[in-house]
Structure 1
Amino acid sequence: MADNDAAATPAIEFHHLTGRVWVTPFHPDPAWIQPSVALVADERGSVLVDAGQSPAHAAEIQAALRAAGLPEPRWLVYTHHHWDHVWGACAWPGVEIVGHVSGADLLRAEAARPWSTRYLREQVRADPRLGPSFRARALAVDSWDDFTVRPPTRTFTDELELPTGVVVRHVGGHHAPDSTVVVDPASGVLLLGDSWYPPPLHLRPPDDGPDLALVRRLLTDDIGWYVSSHSPTMTLDEARAAVAK
């Protein structure tokens, strides 16, 4: 990749949000389609929320973990099956991958596709609406030689509580059928993933917008912080004000 491309990618760091929750920022350039990633750090076994959008992104996340002195994850939770949240999973060997049962079926189908730069080009020629997403994928993956899409190794249907007290809850919504939120009650943090966003661009009707009704259902006095994958983190008061607008 050219030097100016590398310079466009900011260094990844984990920032302490509150309690035992640490978060990396999302990429400020939406064309990169690089979401934030969170870690719920615990001596019993940390929980990583989303894998990174590529093996290279995952390697940067791993370096940021070491730099911050944070423990390696024991669990990796997918907020949903979209590529920018799961394509880094092949760089996380040994973790238990948790995801919704409907996402597991979708990811098994994704894993069977012959991912390569040539394949991406062919798909964009067939459907130009895929252009922004597939161009970002081509930029994100340095080599396809050892690349694999990993479905979850542990699935759930409605809700699952991990041994650290982290709660994984299916919410669905317009963005993806398997959209999942992750709650750390001990820290008062809810990780929204992309759950309230409209569908991906190539599937989005012209008048579709954020799913504010879903957000309203998730706002509660027990949670002080709301973290989305491609948007600034909000306090409860900020989230309520944003929904009210």
Structure 2
Amino acid sequence: MEPRHLADRVWLFPGDPDPGAIRPAVAVVADERGSVLVDAGHSPAHAREIRAGLAAARLPEPRWLVYTHHHWDHVWGACAWPGVEIVGHEAGVAPLRAEAARPWSHRHLRERVREEPRLGPSYRARALAMDDWEGFAVLPPTRTFTDELMLPTGVVLRHVGGGHAPDSTVVLVPDSRVLLLGDCWYPPPLHERSPTDGPDLELARSLLSDHVEWYVSAHDEPLRRDQARAALGD
């Protein structure tokens, strides 16, 4: 897997265009002091592909791993990133600890879907992502924040919350004029979604800024500022 250069020191590993795969894009903010990895990949195998791509592109190894939120497709690769500091919003700690306590296996996935059929799409994607459970662990953040946090490389984390996940965080790279959105403006996950739930366009509009040139959502193509404004009717 090769990274795509987006702007200045921001690189992207594209997600899977098949929505059934639930495999998001992963961003890397390259820095000789240690890169910032934004989301972990949806599985250890995905994370290993990204690590190989970083090495092939001769990009600096990650020192920090930022969770944009706690959903599985953004965090399940974390156990394949040894030595990084995992940073996330404090609201993600409790759900990740609960996830960490589950006896993850293909059998457990099948049992959970029998108990709650609405979990089917998510859990089928998890089963496809995981070919081997040996050494797998769900890892909560080792460093948390409440409102805003700046990492030593100048990358800024801002909590925005929203309907998709209470811990949703956007990641601003000011010198590259890039805002990494995670899933913050998306509707809630399918198994939690009501018929009236839709994209949070108000939240998306609130993030528009003349100081940002690129907006990157985890499951969509990056948009330039003029494209984002046009899409939002702003």
Question: What is the TM-score of this pair, normalised by structure 1?
Answer: 0.94
Partner in structure 1 of residue 146 of structure 2: 157
What does 1:79-228 align with in structure 2 at a 5 Å threshold? Answer: 79-228=68-217
- Partner SS for 1:227: strand
Query: Following the alignment from structure 2 to structure 1, what is the Cα–Cα distance between the partners of residues 179 and 61?
Result: 21
Q: Deviations over 1:87-112 (max 9, x none)?
A: 00000010000000010111011100
What residue number does 2:22 align with? 33
The SS at the match of 1:149 is coil
Name the CA distance, whole Å, in 2 between partners of 1:67 and 1:226: 26
**Paired residue secondary structure (1:107):** helix
CA distance in 1, matches of 2:176, 2:169: 18
| Alpha-carbon separation, structure 2, partners of 1:13 and 1:82 | 24
Segments of structure 1 that go 5 or more residues without pairing to the other structure are 1-11
Q: CA deviation at 1:69?
A: 1.1
Q: Which amino acid aligns with 1:157?
A: T
The one-letter amino acid of 1:53's match is H
Q: Distance in 2 between matches of 1:184 and 1:149?
A: 27
Detail structure 1 runs of 4+ shifted over 4 Å in the superposition. Answer: none
* 1:236 aligned onto 2:225: yes
Cα separation, 1, equivalents of 2:17 and 2:53: 18
Instruction: Return 5+ residue gaps in structure 2 as ranges.
Output: none
Aligned length: 234
Q: CA RMSD in A?
A: 0.8
Match of 2:54 in 1: 65
What is the SS of the residue equivalent to 1:215?
A: helix
TM-score w.r.t. length of structure 2 = 0.99
